[in-house]
Amino acid sequence: MLDLIIIGAGPAGITAGIYATRKKLNTLLITKDFFGQVSHAFFIENYPGFKRIKGMDLIKKFKNHLEKFKINVNQGESVTKIKKKKNFFEVFTSENDRYQTKTIIIASGAKPRKIGIEGEEKFLGRGVSYCPVCDGFLFSQKNVAIIGGGNSGCEAALYLLPIAKKIYLLETSNKLRADKITQEKIFDSKKIEVVFNAKVKKIKGETSVDKIIVEQKKETREILVEGVFVQIGVMPDVDFAKKVVRMDKIGKIIINPRTCETSTKGIFAAGDVANNLYHQVVIAAAQGAIAALSAAKYLEKIEK
Ligand SMILES: Cc1cc2nc3c(=O)[nH]c(=O)nc-3n(C[C@H](O)[C@H](O)[C@H](O)COP(=O)(O)OP(=O)(O)OC[C@H]3O[C@@H](n4cnc5c(N)ncnc54)[C@H](O)[C@@H]3O)c2cc1C
């Protein structure tokens, strides 16, 4: 019987791990992969203490910090189901393992939201991507489209600036939604064409992407591109917990922000998987700490 299982090793899960081991909880961290979404961020400029650091470098520092403490980690393993028992939980995994634990912290973050148009699935890995940092190099001196004018879309455009030949940044509304400082950089670049009021209808090609069909103010336009980066936000990665905790309409786990408690006693949630308004590394890390401290307090209480 474990004290705590942490699910996920992004900023929330890793921070929870640091706090849990310092509390001497018998903890197991189960994660699909180390690092999480932050590894896809080219540069992070808003994590205190680091004026500008590559996303991957920042999260490697988190991991090195965690490794200072004694914690059992099952990497490359996904949690598939949680079952509530009378005084504990059973956690099932993709490796057909089954663990028993008194508390759980769900920190499984989020995955990219799909746009759901013709060609998206067909050309996945053949021109369609959700990760500019992972796949950007494939589009050296090529025309690319980025779908989404929020922070991730605009940052993707800036990331691709030295790589691509021309970048079309497509936004459904009539303004970008990224931070002002990022928007200024977008409008300063001659290589980026911002296409407002643009609804991408289809992604087309033969063996790989060669164009997108865009509807703009009831007119249909074809844009010739070899790469399409879908950057329209993220969805919580939490199907495995649907039966044990309450979620909001979009499937995020409802938490008490003071304690990170969920609707089920003994289960806590932290980071992008929770119903937070904002999705940032500093928030995920902070909630990882709150969740671990709350789990420790809960364990003290039930052991009394
Ligand atoms: C391109 C991009 C740029 C960004 N830029 C910034 C920025 O500049 N500044 C900033 O503060 N934030 C930025 N963010 C947001 C930030 O990365 C996230 O808010 C943060 O990573 C959330 O952390 P998390 O720990 O909640 O989840 P995640 O980082 O999503 O980590 C989730 C972890 O859970 C694991 N997991 C998922 N499902 C399971 C399962 N079933 N079983 C086991 N493990 C599982 C995953 O493998 C992963 O390790 C950016 C995000 C993206 C995508």
- Tell me whether residue 132 is in a domain: yes
Pocket test for ligand 1, best of 108, 151, 230, 234 (most atoms within 8 A of CB): 108
Residue 6 CA to residue 13 CA, distance in Å, equals 6
Tell me the pTM: 0.87
Is 183 inside any structural domain? Answer: yes
Kindly state the average pLDDT of the residues 19-37: 95
Beta pairing, strands 209-216 & 227-230: unpaired
Q: Is residue 120, in this structure, part of any structural domain at all?
A: no
Q: What is the CA radius of gyration of the chain?
A: 21
Count of CB atoms within 10 A of residue 124's CB? 15
Going by alpha carbons, the residue nearest to atom 12 of ligand 1 is 280
Examine the domain organization and report whether 184 and 279 are in the same domain: no
| pLDDT tens per residue across span 98-153 | 999 999 999 999 988 999 999 999 999 899 999 888 889 999 999 999 999 999 89
The reply to whether 197 and 249 lie within a common domain is no
- 203 and 283 in a single domain? The answer is no
Q: Give the residue, by CA position, lying nearest to ligand 1 atom 37.
A: 108
Mutate to test the pocket of ligand 1, among 133, 146, 281, 290 (most ligand atoms within 8 A of CB): 281
Residue where a domain stops, chosen among 196, 213, 230? 230
Confidence class for position 301, pLDDT limits 50, 70, 90: very high
pLDDT attached to residue 41: 83
Question: Which range marks the domain in which residue 181 is found?
Answer: 128-230
Q: Does 295 lie in the same domain as 146?
A: no
pLDDT at 57: 95
Q: How confident is the model at residue 42 (pLDDT cuts 50, 70, 90)?
A: confident
Are 296 and 240 in a shared domain?
A: yes
pLDDT at 277: 86
- pLDDT for 250 equals 86
Tally Cβ neighbours within 10 Å of residue 53.
17
User: Binning pLDDT at 50, 70 and 90, where does residue 241 land?
Assistant: very high
Question: Residues of the chain with pLDDT > 70: what percent?
Answer: 100
Ligand 1 atom, smallest distance to 272 CA: 26
User: ∠95-96-98 over CA atoms, to 5°?
Assistant: 115
Atom of ligand 1 nearest to the CA of 44: 8
Residue 119, in any domain of the structure: no
| CATH code, domain with 92 | 3.50.50.60
Same domain flag for 215 and 190: yes
Question: Does a structural domain hold residue 117?
Answer: no
Q: How far is the CA of 110 from the centre of ligand 1 (A)?
A: 6
- Ligand 1 mean position, distance from CA 52 (Å): 18
Do 43 and 92 belong to one domain?
Answer: yes
Per-residue model confidence (pLDDT) at position 94: 97
| CB 73, CB 31: distance < 8 Å | yes
Question: Which numbered atom of ligand 1 lies nearest the CA of 110?
Answer: 30
Residue 121 is assigned to a structural domain of this protein: no
Residues 149-171 have pLDDT tens digits of 999 899 999 999 999 999 999 99
Check whether residue 239 and residue 103 sit in a common domain.
yes
Answer yes or no: do 88 and 173 share one domain.
no
In the chain, how many domains are there?
A: 2
Residue in 6, 7, 34, 38 to alter for ligand 1 test, most ligand atoms within 8 A of Cβ: 38
214 and 252, same domain (yes or no): no
Is the pLDDT confidence value at 206 over 90? yes
Q: Residues 105, 240: one domain?
A: yes
pLDDT at 256 over 90: yes
In this structure, is residue 118 part of a structural domain? no
Residue at a domain's end among 177, 203, 230: 230
Q: Which of 161-170, 193-202, 274-283 has the lowest mean pLDDT?
A: 274-283
Atom of ligand 1 nearest to the CA of 8: 34
Of 70, 92, 84, the C-alpha closest to 7 is 92
pLDDT the model gives residue 278: 87
Least confident among 88-92, 103-107, 144-148, 233-237:
233-237
The answer to whether residue 70 scores a pLDDT higher than 90 is no
Do 261 and 217 lie in a common domain? no
Contacts of 261 (CB under 8 A, 6+ apart): 255, 267, 268, 294
- Domain boundary residue, one of 166, 201, 230: 230
pLDDT at 268 > cutoff 90: yes
The two tokens of residue 65 are: 């910090």
Q: Decide if 187 is inside a domain.
A: yes
Closest C-alpha to ligand 1, atom 17: 38
